[in-house]
Amino acid sequence: KLVRSRREADVYLIEPKIDEKEGIPSKKTAPPKTAFRVAHYGMSLLLLPPVILIGFLFYYLLNIRNFSIIFIIAVMASAFLYGKGPSLFVSLLSVLIYDFFFVPPLHTFRVASPEYIIELLIFFATAFTVGEITRLFRQQKEALRMRLENIRTLEQMGRELLGVPAIEQVLETTGEKKI
């Protein structure tokens, strides 16, 4: 309708500011993502006791001695929920807790066998990597959500400019059921 009409129309382009580092529209009102929040570290700390209990179950009841990988659960949850800093905090605490409670000699931070030192270093590197991948997944999910929101806004603007009804309205008018 707009294209066929003989009247003049003003068109305004609104360009979002793009964060060059991440390639996603930036919001001026959003707080910085790298802000230090003590509550996030505290909540991340609360992710460890259930994993420690499972560790005690494995070590003392089931006599399983090598189970450090279960601590990755707390690291992943921390990275997904609270970000990089809290996940690194949980990674470091996981290594120290595993060393203190489950690596001989028990209840010390000394390690009797060099193989446990290698295991602890590998665990920390793995926990860091998994935490970082989880954080990136969360970041990509948020970028995708923002892109979808922009596409919906553009779709709505296009429909309003062209006078085209939404697909839901067309389906209701023709009597078709939604998929």
pLDDT at 31 over 50: no
- Under 8 Å between Cβ of 78 and 86: yes
Q: What are the pLDDT digits (tens) for 81-132? A: 888 888 888 988 888 898 888 888 888 888 778 887 887 788 888 877 887 8
- Under 8 Å between Cβ of 87 and 44: yes
- C-alpha–C-alpha distance, residues 78 and 29, integer Å: 25
Nearest to 128 by CA among 81, 67, 87, 74: 87
Mean pLDDT of 18-28: 54
- Under 8 Å between Cβ of 88 and 128: yes
Residue with the larger pLDDT of the pair 25 and 66: 66
Predicted pLDDT of residue 33: 54
- Under 8 Å between Cβ of 39 and 89: no
Sequence-distant (≥ 6) Cβ neighbours of residue 162 within 8 angstroms: 1, 2
Predicted pLDDT of residue 9: 56
Predicted pLDDT of residue 57: 92
pLDDT at 158 over 70: yes
- C-alpha–C-alpha distance, residues 48 and 77, integer Å: 10
Asked whether the bond before 105 is cis by omega within 30 degrees of 0, the reply is yes
Max alpha carbon distance in the chain (Å)?
87
Nearest to 142 by CA among 104, 99, 164, 150: 150
Q: What are the pLDDT digits (tens) for 46-76? A: 999 999 999 999 988 888 887 888 888 888 8
3-class DSSP state of 24 = strand
Banded model confidence at residue 6, pLDDT cuts 50, 70, 90? low
* Backbone torsions φ then ψ of 24, nearest 5 degrees: -125, 150
pTM of the model: 0.58
Mean pLDDT of 22-47: 68
